[in-house]
Amino acid sequence: MTPVDIIADARQMLILTLLLVTPFLGAAVLASLVMGLIQASTRMTDLTLSFVPRFVAVLLVVYLAASWMSVRMLAAIEQAAAQMQEVVE
């Protein structure tokens, strides 16, 4: 493998990581924004009121996106295994 191949593979890995993490971060940010607006409008400041909805939103994303994420990860693992097989041969 040349350094160009290694850099390309590292770039693909980082893009896949960002793609897989984005739904979790989006759900957490959206839940935090909604809860922040609710807390600001009602003047209720409690740490659990911001933590629990974020936790539930992230768990909901895990439940809904698990099959999509597993397909993406399996494709990446199969591609990496094929590339390793080429290097070994």
In a domain, 54, yes or no: yes
Query: What per-residue confidence (pLDDT) applies to 12?
Result: 92
Q: pTM above 0.85?
A: no
Measured CA to CA, the distance from residue 18 to residue 22 in angstroms comes to 6
In a domain, 51, yes or no: yes
In a domain, 6, yes or no: no
In a domain, 53, yes or no: yes
Residue 3, Cα to own-chain centre: how many angstroms?
28
Domain ranges, residue 77: 22-88
How many structural domains does the chain have?
1
pLDDT tens per residue across span 24-72? 999 999 999 999 898 888 888 777 777 888 999 999 999 999 999 999 9
In a domain, 3, yes or no: no
In a domain, 56, yes or no: yes
In a domain, 5, yes or no: no
In a domain, 11, yes or no: no
Measured CA to CA, the distance from residue 22 to residue 58 in angstroms comes to 11
Q: Which are the contacts of 12, defined by CB distance < 8 A and separation ≥ 6?
A: 76
Measured CA to CA, the distance from residue 84 to residue 27 in angstroms comes to 35
